[in-house]
Amino acid sequence: MLDFYTAATPNGHKVAIALEELSLPYTLHILDLEKRQQKEEWYLRINPNGRIPAIVDNDGDEFPVFGSGAILIYLAEKTGLLLPTDRRRRSEVLQWLIFQVAGVGPNQGQAHAFVHYFPEKIPSVISRFLNESRRLYEILNNQLADKEFLCGELSIADIATWPWVRLHAWPGIDISGLDHLSRWINTMANRPACARGIKIPPRPDNTNTVRVFSAIADR
């Protein structure tokens, strides 16, 4: 059984989708980010960075893993799914996973922050992150021109990227003309594991509860 610590964010949804796609049983722990539960001492022993998501694998000795990208790799290696074993195909998936972790997520995250949360509107900064997000989207669109998924078959690269890109309209990232990307967004949205994963944690959040999910529970 895995312990899964998360909140309703794109990075949290990455791991939720992976757990659902892989049919791994897990115990869900919902952290209240506004109350800064992610900075409490007990949680910092699991994730020294004080962010979500994190997991603890209780198969044998307790083993914590933090960071959404690292968790996706760990789960893929644990199950032998969503990450090819062939060296070059594996490298391709990891390249696109890192493209999301180092590029799409940080830039779109800044777009979210400056459009919706920053106390003052700074047009040049907003434009910078919206434009950079659009540039990264164009790269994704080109990659998907002749592929159903980013690396041909569904992988952790798709699972990492979709929870962010599906929110393009919220900060105002223009996807007009990106037909391959739009098709992929819809393909991912139609996967049952994706539909379930973006509802974990369920809303309204109840941060005082711990719920157990399995491959057949709460469908």
Residue 171 is part of a domain; what is its CATH number? 1.20.1050.10
Any bridge partners for residue 56, and if so which? 3, 64
Flag whether 32 is in a domain: yes
- Output the pLDDT for position 203: 72
Counted domains in the chain:
2
Flag whether 219 is in a domain: no
- Closest Cα to residue 153, out of 90, 74, 111, 101? 90
Tell whether 131 and 180 lie within a shared domain: yes
Tell whether 189 and 103 lie within a shared domain: yes
Per-10-residue mean pLDDT of the chain, 219 residues long, equals 97 98 97 96 97 96 97 98 98 98 98 96 97 98 98 98 98 98 98 98 56 34
Tell whether 182 and 206 lie within a shared domain: no
Q: In terms of residue numbers, what domain contains 109?
A: 87-193
Flag whether 218 is in a domain: no
Q: Dihedrals φ, ψ of 36, to 5°?
A: 60, 40
Which amino acid, 112? Answer: H
- Output the pLDDT for position 215: 34
- Output the pLDDT for position 165: 98
Tell whether 132 and 202 lie within a shared domain: no
- Output the pLDDT for position 210: 41
Task: Give burial (CB, 10 Å; 0-12/13-18/19+) of 117.
Answer: exposed
3-class secondary structure, 3:
strand
Q: Is 205 left (phi over 0), alpha (psi -120 to 50) or beta?
A: beta
- Output the pLDDT for position 204: 57
pTM here? 0.92
Tell whether 95 and 170 lie within a shared domain: yes
Tell whether 150 and 178 lie within a shared domain: yes
What are the CA-CA distances from residue 17 to residues 111, 140, 163, 196 (Å)? 23, 20, 9, 7
- Output the pLDDT for position 207: 43
- Output the pLDDT for position 205: 44
- Output the pLDDT for position 196: 98
